[in-house]
Structure 1
Amino acid sequence: MRILALAALLLLADAPPTVPVASRDPGVVRLAADAEARWVDFTLTPGNQIRFDMAVNGRPVSAILDTGVSFSLLSRSSPVTRGAAIVPGGQASAIGGAVTIGWMPTRSLTLGGLSRRGGGLAVATLPALATGSAESVDMLVGRDLLAGQALDIDYAAHRFRLIRSGRMPFPGRIAPLSISPTHAVYQSAITLGTKRFSPMIVDTGDGSSMTITEAEWRSAGLARLPRTTAIAFGLAGPVVTGLAIVPSVRLGELEAHDVEMRIEPAGGFSETIGVAGRIGTGFLSRYRVLLDPRAGRMVLSPRPGLPPVLRSTSGLLLGLERDRLKVLHVMRGGPAAAAGWAIGDTICAVDGQPIGPGYTSSPQARWSAGTPGTTVMLTPCGGKPRRLVLRRFY
């Protein structure tokens, strides 16, 4: 779990927008001969998604790489939409409920070594909070643009590239990968103990580690594990989930230990669309990852020297709002709940140090998952400092 903030979720898994077939022209996609050399640099948002720059209709846009989105989606507030002909597109399923979408034809699109002429993009409202920060993005790049190629994500170097399907540029553990015939997103399967869970959406737009439904959690016999709560943000709003650390998960040839697992309540998004759960960036970022659905595989190579999976010892999930932290969720059974912290509270200083613009990448942000027994002084905006003693609670 990222120290700072929420595990934000951006997922749109539904049928194509309900607009005339001519408006759903997929366009002509081309992969440059030198695509393997065209790395795209990225940063991780506070919500733990892959954020980068690309171009739509010759204009620069900010984007998030989201294999859990069936059709790439442009924000209604993006400058690219100004003066554009956007036709109604019905509704699509998303975390938190349904969202209304439109459809906008495009002339061109460029992403690393990939270019597209023609085609179009779904259009919807993209809330800034879904990235865990006050800064919004212009679009989500999804399955329709990515799945014809192999996607090589080098999390250690903060870069990715699109290369020809079938290539295997590095060795690693192999797991199955395909495109869902129902929802048109990336999918795989995991095993907990002796029970296999499938399909699991492979979702680079999901900042958390793994998620399964409440029913699947119970069927796996994991009720004995300590459990707390967390919050996820999707296109349709926030959702409170369960949270636990699972001793072992198998993904194809890979066996991973101490995996952070979110448990969606009954009637949640995964259950509604008929999947077992999701595999997100919180898990994938511990590896170099190759996603190649046309070849039927993903390849995972462990990153050496990574610390153990972090657990919150504060019980606060926080979002950054320029010069302050905002409490987005108070985790059940944690120190913050016992100390009376509430959703919406703001923090302007930690141990007397003001919250600055570089907070998310600074050592200051590590306090939320600090050593149990440590006392942290949190200064509410406009209030007196409050003492919080960290402890392990799940």
Structure 2
Amino acid sequence: MPILSLLPLALLAAPLPEPRAAWVGRSTLAPDAEGRWIPFDLTPGNQIRFTMSVDGRPVTAILDTGVSYSVLARRYADAHRLDVRAEGRATVIGGSVAIGRVATRTIAIGAVTRHGGSLAVADLPAAATGSALAVDLLVGRDLTAAYALEIDYQARRFRLLRSGSTPFSGAVAPLSIAPERMIYFSAVVIGGRTVAPMVVDTGDGSAITLGAAAWATARPAAGPVTTTVSFGLAGAVVNELAILPELRIGTAVARDVEVRVEPAGGFSETIGVAGRIGSGFLQRYRVLLDPTAGHLLLGTTSATDSPALRSTSGLLLALSGDRLKVLHVMRGGPAAADGWREGDTICAVDGTRIGAAYATSALAGWSAGAPGRVVTLDGCDGTRRRLTLRRFY
């Protein structure tokens, strides 16, 4: 189980000020594309992380359909002494960030090779993936939208195919590329009402995120509300959090879906959308995103009917060396009632010390454990506290 609640990366929403050809270059698809699967792992923040190449060098990347133009880490550009041209600022979750542009010769991602074009350049902090390791690149719409993008979350692999390919059958939902924002758009139905446009954002580790106006429509269909924290390139944002008993996307019916709610004037409202469909929702399915063909496919998997993972502790945590750090105390939860605060640290859980392997160990599941369980938490300041888990949203 991820240490953090699922954390979204940034959405680089503003179209960039260069002629299109200067950014996108010329892409080709290999004839053996069907066999060019790209293996990936999920970051602690629930994003798709994999390896590809830029100008012949291997880079660690995240697949992020919520980014209009792929973004190279400024750290990487500096390390390789790349010529970065300043391009102003772009809108992201949490505010805005300075961006640059760097020209590229070749970019290779699975069966696709791009010749020429550019990458945006911005700071990509490790916190945006919920990991101690920063990535080099966010792979956005400019590298993927011309193709059918198939994501097999169960097998931890994806591939790029010719548009119009249908490698599996499934529920069908509309999909397009927004002409102004240049990102993937679809729609959902909540409580019988259509909520649109919704960004389909594989770089957002959460399930469903709604802006304030869309939430006003969806609120009667949701359960009790608590709070959570999200991270974008511009920093942390506190959102409300609830569970929707049912949500429809095209012909797919999903039950027990986590929804995050942005405050009035939040990111979704800033860029003129209703919200986002993130990786936390998409990973219930086998997914095919094909905006050129105008649809997405959602194939049933063993995870399709899995209930939303709920915190029963009310603590959202990050691993920092040999300790857990409290990033957020959820409103109305057991931790809030017991006086826990942001910044508190934990060095042992039920007598087991926190180590580097914690994130992938069975121990990490304690914060969403069975209601009624009493967990002993040793603070790094020498204090010992007991927390009784319960369901609160």
TM-score (norm 2): 0.96
Q: Aligned-pair RMSD on alpha carbons?
A: 1.6
Q: Distance in 2 between matches of 1:151 and 1:276?
A: 23
Residue 384 of structure 1 and its aligned partner are, at CA, apart by: 2.4
The answer to whether the 8 A contact 1:315-1:337 is kept is yes
- Please state whether the residue corresponding to 1:294 is helix, strand or coil: coil
Aligned sequence identity (%): 58
Q: Distance in 2 between matches of 1:167 and 1:270?
A: 31
Q: Distance in 2 between matches of 1:57 and 1:17?
A: 22
Equivalent residues in 2 for 1:1-394 (5 A)?
3-19=2-18, 21=19, 24-78=22-76, 82-222=80-220, 225-304=223-302, 307-394=306-393
Residue 145 of structure 1 and its aligned partner are, at CA, apart by: 0.2
AA in 2 matched with 1:123: V
User: Could you report, residue by residue, the CA deviation over 1:248-294 in whole angstroms, capped at 9, with x for unpaired residues?
Assistant: 10100001011101111100000111100000011001111011101
The answer to whether the 8 A contact 2:190-2:221 is kept is no
Decide which moves more: 23-32 or 67-76: 23-32
- Please state whether the residue corresponding to 1:30 is helix, strand or coil: strand
Residue 363 of structure 1 and its aligned partner are, at CA, apart by: 1.1
1:320/1:221 Cα in 2 relative to 1: closer, same or farther (>3 Å)?
A: closer
The answer to whether the 8 A contact 2:255-2:307 is kept is no
User: Could you report, residue by residue, the CA deviation over 1:222-271 in whole angstroms, capped at 9, with x for unpaired residues?
Assistant: 27720000011001111110100011101000010111011111000001
Q: Distance in 1 between matches of 2:212 and 2:188?
A: 16
Q: Distance in 1 between matches of 2:321 and 2:158?
A: 28
Residue 22 of structure 1 and its aligned partner are, at CA, apart by: 8.8
- Please state whether the residue corresponding to 1:78 is helix, strand or coil: helix
Q: Distance in 1 between matches of 2:210 and 2:24?
A: 32
Q: Distance in 1 between matches of 2:20 and 2:289?
A: 30
The answer to whether the 8 A contact 2:191-2:221 is kept is no
The answer to whether the 8 A contact 1:3-1:310 is kept is no
The answer to whether the 8 A contact 2:284-2:306 is kept is no
Q: Distance in 1 between matches of 2:26 and 2:324?
A: 44
Q: Distance in 1 between matches of 2:222 and 2:153?
A: 33
User: Could you report, residue by residue, the CA deviation over 1:280-332 in whole angstroms, capped at 9, with x for unpaired residues?
Assistant: 01100111101110111110112125642211000011112232211111100
- Please state whether the residue corresponding to 1:222 is helix, strand or coil: helix
TM-score (norm 1): 0.96
Q: Distance in 2 between matches of 1:14 and 1:209?
A: 19
Q: Distance in 1 between matches of 2:339 and 2:199?
A: 37
Q: Distance in 1 between matches of 2:245 and 2:221?
A: 13
- Please state whether the residue corresponding to 1:7 is helix, strand or coil: coil
1:296/1:81 Cα in 2 relative to 1: closer, same or farther (>3 Å)?
A: farther
Decide which moves more: 25-34 or 66-75: 25-34
- Please state whether the residue corresponding to 1:343 is helix, strand or coil: coil
List alignment gaps of at least 5 residues for structure 1.
Answer: none
Residue 81 of structure 1 and its aligned partner are, at CA, apart by: 5.5
- Please state whether the residue corresponding to 2:138 is helix, strand or coil: strand
- Please state whether the residue corresponding to 2:127 is helix, strand or coil: helix
1:224/1:60 Cα in 2 relative to 1: closer, same or farther (>3 Å)?
A: closer
Residue 211 of structure 1 and its aligned partner are, at CA, apart by: 0.7
The answer to whether the 8 A contact 2:188-2:249 is kept is yes
* Count of matched residue pairs: 392
Q: Distance in 2 between matches of 1:83 and 1:71?
A: 21
Q: Distance in 1 between matches of 2:336 and 2:20?
A: 54
The answer to whether the 8 A contact 1:212-1:278 is kept is yes
Structure 1 stretches of 4+ moved >3 Å: none
List alignment gaps of at least 5 residues for structure 2.
Answer: none
